[in-house]
């Protein structure tokens, strides 16, 4: 008991301090600023044609349960008939799972046919937890 007495003021001070962590919801990490500046310029290739079947809005299940948000930057090609392919995850945060899920979501997408496809399209897919109001409407989150 004598050894605990000197430590008690420090314990009380630390336990009364505000928590530095935001529990219950992990915010989406910020994307890279300058590292992928060249990728952002090529995003217009994908926006030139509209999606006939937009990318699915599936969220990685393990991260949904823990309310963790994330993002991924994925490169892909568009065939003239609208199919997506040749995927490459350039970067994903906070885990590779977000990149894998973004790749799967894009694989299910289909663009309107065009006279020529597009090569080297780059998109950033953001995985956000739905707001509390959206939970009541059954929203699964957005891409």
- Tens of pLDDT, residues 106-125: 999 888 888 888 888 888 88
CATH of 25-137, one of 3.30.2420.10, 3.40.50.300, 3.40.630.30, 3.20.20.140: 3.30.2420.10
Secondary structure tally for the chain: helices H, strands E: 6, 5
Choice between 3 and 25, residue whose per-residue pLDDT is larger: 3
Q: Can you give the pTM of this predicted structure? A: 0.60
Determine contact, residues 42/120, Cβ cutoff 8 Å: yes
Q: What is the DSSP string of 13-25?
A: HHHHSPPSS-TT-
Tokens of 31: 């994307």
- Tens of pLDDT, residues 30-87: 655 544 433 433 344 455 457 888 888 888 888 888 888 899 999 998 888 989 999 9
The domain spans of the chain are 25-137
């Amino acid at each position: 008991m004598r050894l605990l007495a000197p430590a008690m003021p420090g314990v009380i001070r630390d336990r009364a301090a505000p928590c530095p962590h935001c529990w219950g919801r992990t915010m989406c990490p910020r994307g890279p600023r300058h590292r992928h500046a060249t990728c952002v310029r090529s995003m217009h290739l994908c926006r030139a044609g509209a999606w006939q079947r937009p990318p699915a809005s599936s969220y990685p299940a393990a991260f949904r349960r823990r309310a963790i948000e994330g993002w991924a930057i994925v490169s892909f090609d568009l065939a003239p008939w609208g199919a997506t392919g040749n995927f490459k995850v350039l970067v994903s945060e906070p885990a590779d799972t977000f990149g894998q899920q973004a790749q799967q979501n894009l694989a299910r997408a289909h663009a309107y046919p065009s006279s020529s496809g597009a090569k080297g399209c780059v998109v950033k897919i953001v995985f956000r937890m739905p707001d509390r109001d959206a939970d009541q409407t059954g929203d699964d989150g957005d891409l």
